[in-house]
Amino acid sequence: MQTILLTGFEPFDQDLVNPSWEAVRQLDGVQLGDDVQIVARRLPCAFATAGDYLAQLIAELSPVMVIATGLGPGRSDISIERVAINVNDARIPDNLGAQPIDTAVVVGGPAAYFTTLPIKAMVKAVREAGLAASVSQTAGTFVCNQVFYRLQHLLAGTAVRSGFIHVPALPEQVVGSGQPSMALAMLVEGLQVAVRAAWRTPMDVVEAGGQVS
């Protein structure tokens, strides 16, 4: 049985839950075919440990595809990331109290890595399922981007496709704030559709997904 590794993060910044993990955990063991299944794992929200733990999981599971997910506060849709940049610039401390500012994710590494996932096909599939989705041009500069960059750096030059997806907050996390959110059931469905599209699409579709500014 082949494995698709799907990760989410533990809660951070005083939240009691992280929707990325709450959604991903429900997909653990889901089969996308007779010979491939999703394995879900939770990453720590810490610069010092998240990337190393992800590398450990990849070595242990030998996945055929890896998709990391994280919370994107303020986002209103399932945001499939295009690029990871070689910069840590933390607005807030991580769960171990670290707050790196203007440091490299990988010293001497490339300025950026692009995802190797068929992001346009994934967005199209999620939208056709009736859920909001878009291509995102920035994964931020916090632990999400660090994990995304470390993932692409680790798998560069291999046949294992990989990338990152940001998800909105849950409704209960933004009560009274006016911030956007998405119900957990919709997150679960959207991620499953996105992962299935990634697995079944060998070459991305050509569709507009950029932004003017």
Task: Provide the annotated active-site residues.
Answer: 81, 144, 166
> Tokens standing for 106?
């990988």
* C-alpha span between 66 and 48 (Å, rounded): 20
- Residue in the block written with tokens 């998240």: 50
> Angle at CA 148, nearest 5°, toward 134 and 9?
85
**Residue in 147, 167, 143, 49 with CA at minimum distance from that of residue 91:** 143
- Residue in the block written with tokens 């993060």: 9
Spatial neighbors of 109 by CB under 8 A, at least 6 apart, are 86, 149, 153
- Tell me the chain's radius of gyration from C-alpha atoms: 16
Largest CA distance in the chain: 46
The CA distances from residue 168 to 12, 94, 160, 171, in Å, are 14, 19, 27, 9
Other C-beta atoms closer than 10 Å to the C-beta of 103 total: 13
